[in-house]
Structure 1
Amino acid sequence: MRAQIIEAFGETDVFRLTSRPEPLPGPGEVVVALAATSINPVDYKLRRYGPSIAPALPAILGCDVAGTVVAVGAGVADFKAGDEVYGCAGGVAGVSGGSYAEFIAADARLLAHKPSSLTMREAAALPLVTITAWEALDRAGVGAGTSVVIHGGAGGVGHIAIQLAKARGATVFATVSSDEKAAIAERLGADHVINYRVEGVADYVARLTGGRGFDVVFDATGGDDIATSFAAARLNGHVVTIVSQYDADLSPMHTKGLSLHVVFMLIPMLHDIGREAHGRLLRRAAALAETGKLRPLIDPETFALEDLPRAHQKAEAGRALGKIVVTIATG
């Protein structure tokens, strides 16, 4: 099979398109012929920095999977050859392969049947960001009647969080950085959209909540400005973040009685704990997709497996509008 491998960590020139043996399924695994994958920040961070949660070198990176089952290992009952599947199943320590290849041997617990209403490319854009957003909303108890503001509403995790929160009956507010992204957030279902470059947090909290603050603040930007989230939350509210690897003043949490939740969705993959929860979650997400309540935003530029270095460059530069999808097979 063709695969993009890395033998060292660094810039995109570490990728090497080569031929590797096709994997065989181990117990509890299925081999998937990949149709597409997508780029997530963890992918280029692992490529650049390694090695704490990176697979051993030489490695095939890539987390998101969409394709067709071609072989089934012992003990697998939920899938058979010919099934179309999707999931977040590769590219980190603790799993056996990555999605930057034509085939992957994946833990069946991490997969679900692909929504029939989505193309392979659309399905490939969903797994990591959907699991992340779903876990964040669960942690904060988002449901009917909850007011939730999503920072980074047009980003990879944020644009999914808007749709999931709406499906739960929440009132959804989203912050964005441009009019173009505001239109995207509105199209995805946000009830109120805030351009944070125009209106500061104190002003939009006063305008939209009468100064009370939001029940839940979800920082889906991957940035390091948690103070804005604390400022936006109500007394005894919830703040959720997907990145916390920086120094921050937590004293506003005390004065407001806030709960802080940090989401690191890779834990089941890295430590083989609760992997079946990811499969269950993706089955529920597929049901939402089938009813038109969940669709990914995909950057219009197309990439093939041989274009992977260029796809990483675009993602790392922050130039994408939506998820960057890489087509592995067109058949």
Structure 2
Amino acid sequence: MQAQVLTEFGGPEKLKLTQVESPVAGPSQALVRIRAAALNPVDAKIRAGLPIGPDMPAILGADLAGIVEAVGEGVEGISVGDEVYGCAGGVKGHGGTLAQYIAADARLLAPKPKSLSFHEAAALPLVAITAVDAMEKLALTGDDHVLVHGGVGGVGHIGIQLVKAAGARVSTTVSSEEAAALARQLGADETILRSEPVADYVARLTGGSGFSAIFDTVGGDNLANSFAAAAIGGRIATTNARTTADLGDMHGKALSLHVVFMLLPMLRGPGRERHGRILRELAALADAGKLRPLIEERRFTLETAADAHALLDSGKARGKIVVDIS
């Protein structure tokens, strides 16, 4: 089969289209002919040397949508010919999705949403499972007023939709008026330009009391803004806790902080069945018209996947970058 192969760490130019041996479905695995694969920021980090990637020579890529061509011993709930999607590759111990085939742990797969194309479905798994993890940690109710930091980012735009599906009110930070309009189309009740001081938007949108729940898809230094924007007893979930932070505001408001690391089940093992269950629930939401991916309009193929990685590095994509494989 053909695959984009990485033989040394570096930029997008290190990816080379290569003929490699096709994988075979082992026990508990499904062989999937990949129709589309989506890129995520973690792919670029692994390409640059983040030590959670597959051994060299490596095939990168986590997200996929495709058709099952074979199943190994012990696989239940997935059959040959099924259209599936999942986040199932691109880290240690797993093949990648920038290839024509993958032998994936069947627990990480689920039937593709019927209302979405392969191109659209491939954009969902990693970001949507991440957002579900955050929603479950935040334990949202219809009484919550939720702040989503980064509302038109890969994870944030799913977060907005899941908050609305939970019946809660959602406000979101964005970088521009154009992004604000897009966030409102996704369901945001209010938008906040990142340049607006935290105290000002807390006063404007919450009467100074703060947000009962915050989903911070930016994290790092931005966690300080989340602490400042939270209500007393507020809950915060972040996808990026790699920072040194003053926890004074957390203590003063008795806040709770939850960290989301969606790739852990793939790296460690426990929890893979849960990912499959979440994907089934997400497919139902998509088919009910309550969830849709925001996708970059530029199209890429397996042959031009390095160009897709270059766009990922640029930070200029408007939505998830998807590579059509076959």
TM-score band w.r.t. shorter chain: over 0.9
Residues 259-298 of structure 1 mapped to structure 2, 5 A cutoff: 259-298=256-295
Preserved CA contact (<8 Å) 1:224 1:243? no
State percent identity of aligned pairs: 56
Q: 2:218 maps to which residue?
A: 221
Residues 1-331 of structure 1 mapped to structure 2, 5 A cutoff: 1-50=1-50, 52-95=51-94, 97-197=95-195, 199-221=196-218, 223-329=220-326
Preserved CA contact (<8 Å) 1:155 1:221? no
Q: CA, structure 1 residues 224+311, in 2 after alignment: closer, same or farther (shift >3 Å)?
A: farther
Give the letter aligned to residue 83 of structure 1: D
How far residue 223 of structure 1 moved from its aligned partner, in angstroms, is: 4.9
TM-score, normalised with respect to structure 2: 0.98
Preserved CA contact (<8 Å) 1:94 1:270? yes
Give the Cα–Cα distance (whole angstroms) in 2 for the partners of residues 226 and 33 of structure 1.
Answer: 41
How far residue 222 of structure 1 moved from its aligned partner, in angstroms, is: 5.3
Which secondary structure does the structure 2 equivalent of 1:224 belong to? helix
How far residue 104 of structure 1 moved from its aligned partner, in angstroms, is: 0.3
Q: Which runs of 4+ in 1 moved over 4 A?
A: none
Q: Kindly report the root-mean-square deviation, in angstroms, between the aligned alpha carbons of the 2 structures.
A: 0.9
> Which shifted more, 272-281 or 141-150?
141-150
Task: Give a deviation string over 1:266-285, Cα, whole Å, max 9, x none.
Answer: 00000011100000000000
Which secondary structure does the structure 1 equivalent of 2:104 belong to? strand
TM-score, normalised with respect to structure 1: 0.97
Unaligned residue ranges in structure 2 (runs of 5+):
none
Preserved CA contact (<8 Å) 1:37 1:328? yes
Aligned length: 326
Give the Cα–Cα distance (whole angstroms) in 1 for the partners of residues 300 and 171 of structure 2.
Answer: 33
Which secondary structure does the structure 1 equivalent of 2:59 belong to? coil
Preserved CA contact (<8 Å) 1:94 1:272? no
Give the Cα–Cα distance (whole angstroms) in 2 for the partners of residues 318 and 223 of structure 1.
Answer: 18
Which secondary structure does the structure 2 equivalent of 1:106 belong to? strand
Preserved CA contact (<8 Å) 1:35 1:67? yes
Give the Cα–Cα distance (whole angstroms) in 1 for the partners of residues 230 and 64 of structure 2.
Answer: 35
